[in-house]
Amino acid sequence: MAKISRQALVKELRQFIASDYVIDDAETQKVYECDGLSAYTEMPMLVVLPETVEQVQKAMRIFHRNDIPVVARGAGTSLSAGATPHKEGVVLSLAKFKNIIEIDPLARTARLQPGVRNLAISEAATDYGLYYAPDPSSQIACSIGGNVAENAGGVHCLKYGLTVHNVMRIEMVTVEGELLSIGSEGHDNYGPDILALLNGSEGMLGVITEVTVKLLPTPEKAQVILAGFDSVKTAGDAVGSIISKGIIPGGLEMMDTYAIQASEAFANAGYPLDAKALLLCEVDGTLEEVKEYAEQIESLFKELGATSIKVSQSEAERALFWKGRKSAFPAVGRMSPDYYCMDGTIPRGQLSYVLTEIERLSEEFDLRVANVFHAGDGNLHPLILFDANVPGEFERTEAFGGKILEICVEVGGCITGEHGVGLEKIRQMAVQFTDTEIAQFHSIKSAFDSGAKLNPGKGIPVLKRCQEYRALSKSDSHSGGCGSQGHSAHKGHSEHKGHQGESAA
Amino acid sequence: MSNLTELFIEQIKTAANDKKAITIIGNGTKKTLGRSVGEGNTVISTSEHSGILGYEPVELVMTARAGTSLAEINSALEKNNQYLACDPARFDGVATIGGSLATNQAGPSRPWAGSLRDHVLGVNLINGKGEALRFGGQVMKNVAGYDVSRLQAGAMGTLGLMTEISFKVLPKPAASLTLVQALDAPEAIERMNTLAGQPKPLTAASWVDGKLYLQLSGAKSAVEGTVEKWEGDVLPEEKASIFWGNLRDHKADFFSQRQSDKPLWRFSINSTAKPFLDQESWLIDWAGSQRWLKGEFDHSELQAWALRQGGEVVLYQGGDRLQDVFNQPNAVMKKIQTDLKQSFDPLTLFNPGRLYSWM
């Protein structure tokens, strides 16, 4: 329990943080009750929006002294309930940290405050012919601090890597309020790679207050080859064939029938409605290179029996082809009152098997599912369609989703490729990791936050709950509660609208 | 060529009972890196714990035991026209994948291709309690739990004994050409950085003995198209291959011949930093961000300069190796690192003192 009353805390914070930015009334707090996964809601004790690093440090010292849980929050686009408030804790919003501190065009780096939006980085760098490569589909809204916390991906990961591959330095405030710099303006540092550890640590190790990222030269050209196939298997084989040819496309996306039809209805991108699978393959590089690869890929698709092929002939057409894919989530959302986005990763060769299993489960759970797949890097996003107003349907959806993640682990994959564990997948951690591994995670956490006050209840499950979940899972029940203390996961269903309009990678 | 995991667990438990520290060693190619410690330690060698356990060329993933030599790995990849893009130092092919990850190796293409930390997907390791643990996996994207696999990069075996490593591999570029041009250091640094900002297939930029070397790799049309536009003479293919191989393996004259008794310093700094001291003392790699310096210097003075250039310096070879040779973290980070070490290795069994005098 906190050692200070809410009233006393508010008073202390208002001594150095603007009154309006210490939010203690329920009405103003309401927008913070959830993140992009709106099925999980919780009201915090307090919301604070500091404006300087010194304020963050000072506030953290007060929270630390009083044993108050802290949930750091960026733009709140997380799809794993990573930023859901803690009811006895504070939401520390970094929304006021919106400045691009510096762009160094010669060194090709950008120094950013954590609240800078992902897309804003590339927009600011474009004058220098540079851009920031990781591009989660939420890039118009999501912020770089959150990208680091979740190790965000996007549609260009196979060639350009995840956030972790593109971050050089981080400044963070520790749970005790100390300011730390990790990484450097060079490419590496001897000693354990703590910079890598922080990427994807879901706000559980520190509060990120500054990020330096690498910028890349904007490719001279990019072209998209759009191909329809009569089966998912043929499309999957085509992906393998491209890679066997020695080509690493900038982006390589697959969609199944449901996703194609939904996206086409939404974006009029010219997708083949009769196809069972669609591949979007983007090649980028020099003018010569793009021409060479686009021709090779086009003829490869023909050989493999593509039922339709289109090659983008202009930037406008390329953008249109992507529009369909990038709006796949909200487009699918129009087919159903709600949808639930999963995020498993699998070895690519297992795609046919996994999709067949998902189809079988879809019948078993009596819920429709559309599949969007980062085919290049094996990251599968099944979108389960449901209606939260039908009693029990959300619970059934979660159980279905849990099963999908277990299949991903079974074939050698993992439960999350880019969305993070948060509250959402905390039960499935017990499927991917043993108790000793989870205990190791807890002791890593202790090195940074021995009192477990940073984003408590997220990411790493409590061991006792894992054993319960495994036992339940074996008896084929779906109602485990691993690590879900401190939140009321499914409150407010009647208001739940999936996350239409939000879009993740 | 066998699985020695059980033996390793037993050796770790025995050392714990006997209160003896453990030195982890592969094929010993990086023995001189870090502080000179370990006399009287129990030695655990991964040398015989070798072999490729899984390799799916189309999945772009390989899994190998920690003691597998880079020669074995490279030869298997070569057969499928693939490679380890970060091109870690091979040291006559005997360097192991475990040692390469523990010291986070990368070749001259580092700014573009990354280091092993960028390619590792998962590790199996035994912690100081003798527990065999598995982190990450064999897929490109995995954000479940903390990234323990990448944490091992640069830890020099202080957090555990890695037994298996999964990593990403890539198709070999279809073409590669090297341009060479005489330039002084400040001009070379400016040029490397300017060219790195252009959308061309640049994959290495190094300044050695008064000459700037630029490697272009990728699609044939892209490489040839760029060579036509950029200044410099094309280095014959065989010469180029020897040049980059020697640079990667520290066999260039700068490392092996010149003042070989003098300390070797390694800087990891902002790539655009203006050089100081006389040009002859330097070798510049990674488009300016990795710089090697030979000679007797005051560590703290070099560190002060490196810090102003946004990075660090380490005493890579020679000099007093009983003192700290790596960059020293501040008090806050020191505590985190100490606690992190404790979390993996509560009895401080693994390579104590190798990385830092205090850990």
pLDDT tens track for A182-227: 999 999 999 999 999 999 999 999 999 999 999 999 999 999 999 9
Mean pLDDT across the stretch A277-286? 96
User: Taking CB atoms and an 8 Å limit, are B155 and A192 in contact across chains?
Assistant: yes
Q: Percent of chain A having pLDDT more than 70?
A: 93
- Provide CB contacts within 8 A for B128, sequence distance 6+: B12, B16, B160, B344, B345, B346, B347, B348, B349, B350
Give the phi and the psi of residue B34 in degrees, each rounded to 5.
90, -170
The CATH number of residue B69's host domain is: 3.30.465.10
A448/B286 CB distance under 8 A: no
First CA to last CA across chain B, in angstroms? 33
Strands (E), A80-220: 90-93, 100-104, 109-112, 130-131, 167-173, 179-183, 207-214, 216-217
Spatial CA neighbour of B145 closest among A415, A397, A109: A415
DSSP character at residue A20: G
Whole-angstrom distance, CA of residue B229 vs CA of residue B236: 18
CA angle A296/A298/A302 to nearest 5° reads: 115
Cβ contacts of residue A69 below 8 Å, gap of 6+?
A: A86, A88, A89, A90, A453, A454, A455, A456
Round to whole Å and give the CA distance between A406 and A435.
17
CA torsion B137-B147-A283-A155 (nearest 10°) is: 100
Please state, in angstroms and rounded to a whole number, the distance separating the CA atoms of residues A54 and B59: 47
What's the confidence (pLDDT) of residue A485? 32
Query: Cβ contact (<8 Å) for A165 and B114?
Result: yes
Question: Which of chain A's residues have a Cβ under 8 Å away from the Cβ of B186?
Answer: none
Q: Which tens digit of pLDDT belongs to each residue from A241-271?
A: 999 999 999 999 999 999 999 999 999 999 9
Give pLDDT tens digits for A366-398.
Answer: 999 999 999 988 999 999 999 999 999 999 999
B78 and B159 inside one domain: yes
* CA–CA distance, A184 with A190 (Å, rounded to integer): 11
CB contact under 8 A, B131 and A436: yes
Question: What is the residue-averaged pLDDT of chain B?
Answer: 96
Using the predicted structure, report yes or no on whether residue B50 has a pLDDT greater than 80. Answer: yes
Read off the pLDDT of each residue in A55-79 and give the average, rounded to a whole number: 97
Q: What's the sign of the alpha-carbon dihedral A354, A357, A363, A365?
A: negative
Distance from the A254 Cα atom to the nearest Cα atom in chain B, whole angstroms:
16
Selected residues 112-171 of chain B with any CB under 8 Å from a CB in chain A: 114-115, 117-118, 127, 131, 133-135, 137-148, 150-156, 158-159, 170-171
Statement to judge: residues B74 and B195 lie in one domain: no
Q: Do A288 and B138 touch (CB under 8 A)?
A: no
- Is it the case that residue A496 has pLDDT exceeding 60? no
Residues 72-91 of B with CB under 8 A from A: 81
**Where in the sequence is the domain holding B305, given as residue range(s)?**
254-317
Q: Quick one: closest CA in B to A236, which residue?
A: B58
With an 8 Å Cβ cutoff, are B148 and A244 in contact? no
Characterize the bridge pairing of strands A251-256 and A369-374: antiparallel
**Chain B 11-30, CB below 8 Å of chain A: which residues?**
none
Ranges of each domain in chain A? 6-93, 100-217, 221-330
| pLDDT one-digit tens code per residue, A348-364 | 889 989 999 999 999 99
Q: How far is CA A353 from the centre of its chain?
A: 25
CA distance B289 to A109: 13
Class of domain A6-93: alpha beta
- Of all residues in chain B, the percent with pLDDT exceeding 90 is 96
- B207: helix, coil or strand? strand
- The shortest CB-CB distance from B332 to any of A180, A201, A347 is to A180
B319 touches chain A (CB under 8 A): no
Q: What is the pLDDT of residues B317-356, one digit of tens each?
A: 999 999 999 999 999 999 999 999 999 999 999 999 999 9
Q: Which CATH number fits domain A100-217: 2.40.70.10, 3.30.465.10, 3.40.50.10130, 3.40.190.10?
A: 3.30.465.10
Contact criterion met (CB < 8 Å) for A199 and B333: no
Q: Is B340 on the interface with A (CB under 8 A)?
A: yes
Count CA atoms closer than 13 A to A441's CA, side-chain side.
Answer: 26
- By C-alpha distance, the chain B residue nearest A195 is B151
- Chain B: give the shortest CA distance to residue A147, in Å: 12
Q: Which region among A157-171, A481-495, B86-100 has the lowest average model confidence (pLDDT)?
A: A481-495
pLDDT at B44 over 80: yes
Residue B267 contacts A where some CB pair is shorter than 8 Å: yes
Please state which of the four CATH numbers 3.40.190.10, 3.40.50.620, 3.90.280.10, 3.30.70.2190 is assigned to the domain occupying A221-330: 3.30.70.2190
- The answer to whether A136 touches A505, Cβ cutoff 8 Å, is yes
Select from B64, B25, B63 the least CA-distant residue to B42.
Answer: B25
CA distance B231 to B239: 19
A60 in Cβ contact with A70 (< 8 Å)? yes
Model pLDDT, residue A492:
32
Percent of chain B predicted with pLDDT > 70 = 100
CA nearest to B287 within chain A: A107
How buried is residue A313: exposed, middle or buried, by Cβ count under 10 Å (0-12/13-18/19+)? Answer: exposed
Contact A348 B312 (CB under 8 A): no
Q: Per residue in B26-57, is it b (16+ CB within 10 Å) or e — as a string?
A: bbebbeebbbebbeebbebbbbebbebeebbb
